[in-house]
Amino acid sequence: MKAIHKKASLLFLPFAFGFLTFYVFPFFSTFYYAVINSTIDTEFVGLENFYKVLTNKYFILALKNTFVFTLTAVPLLVLLAYLFSSFLLYLINTKTWFIRLAFFIPIVFPSASLVMFWKVFFSDFILLPVYILFLWKNLGFHIILYLVNMTRIPGEYEEAAKLEGAGTLAYHYFVIFPLSLPMTFFVVVMSIVQSFRIFKDVFVVHGVYPNEKLYFIQNYINNKFMKLSYPDLSAGTIVFVLLLIILFTILFSIGNFLYRRVYH
């Protein structure tokens, strides 16, 4: 058994090496770059770079746009995913494979293939196509997650609810909805991660300097990288990561509360 574990560890080593080399080491190196003057003049400047970043109007703009998009698009995505999955749940025994396929197909579409469509039909709009594209690309994935969760609820619950005189809406509200809360937490976390990836689609269409309403935190970081301004890039990254830590700490606290409330 120990020999098997050693062989398994050897298979894990390439992944561990790549993760440490391309993720962990570069991330911690940002703390060094954040407190020096530049990559040429490595003079220690303390928190000066953080002050420059926090007083930079483009960083504040990017931060505001990123969180405004996340806080508006994510609830809309979660709500639509829950409503569509609830509707499909009652059609699960019928031939709805083409409906589920229609929701799932956008996940595999490359963003570049949508550029011409976006430019032709949404040339006069700015934020609207970004929201449409975000919802269209990610809705199917979350519908599948919800359907998997809902179909795993024992059928005895529905039978017991019917014996008590509960209708379809009452059963959904008092049984399915509470049991879907932990999955909703997971869907919210995944949606937040996906909302930060919308930069890729905006970059394909609008380039490195989009409209101010589409200037996200990734635009700021990318532009600083292209200018080799590593101290500003590092300080901005650290500030953004700290805000994400606060956000996800709150979310996980809420998730643990919901889990205890539902299952205990």
The span from the CA of 7 to the CA of 124, in Å, is 59
Q: What's the DSSP call for residue 92?
A: T
List every span in the chain annotated with CATH 1.10.3720.10: 47-263
Q: What is the CATH superfamily name and number for domain 47-263?
A: MetI-like (1.10.3720.10)
pLDDT averaged per 10 residues in sequence order, the chain, 264 residues: 60 76 81 83 83 90 91 92 84 59 65 65 70 85 85 77 74 80 87 86 76 86 84 88 89 78 64
The span from the CA of 176 to the CA of 181, in Å, is 9
Nearest to 61 by CA among 201, 211, 192, 252: 211
Nearest to 180 by CA among 158, 157, 152, 141: 152
The span from the CA of 193 to the CA of 187, in Å, is 10
Beta-carbon contacts of residue 6 (< 8 Å; ≥ 6 apart): none
Query: Could you tell me how many residues make up the chain?
Result: 264
Containing 38, the helix (H) or strand (E) segment is: none
Beta-carbon contacts of residue 237 (< 8 Å; ≥ 6 apart): 30, 221
Nearest to 210 by CA among 196, 197, 199: 199
The span from the CA of 76 to the CA of 82, in Å, is 10
Beta-carbon contacts of residue 248 (< 8 Å; ≥ 6 apart): 189
> Which class for 80: exposed (0-12), middle (13-18), buried (19 or more C-beta within 10 A)?
middle
Nearest to 218 by CA among 250, 235, 196: 196
pLDDT of residue 80: 92
pLDDT of residue 206: 75
In the chain, what are the helix, strand and coil shares in percent, each to the nearest 5? 80, 0, 20
Containing 228, the helix (H) or strand (E) segment is: none
pTM exceeds cut of 0.85: no
Containing 128, the helix (H) or strand (E) segment is: helix 127-151
What single-letter amino acid sits at 164? E
Bridge partner list, 36: 44
Contact 33, 233 (CB under 8 A): yes
pLDDT of residue 185: 86
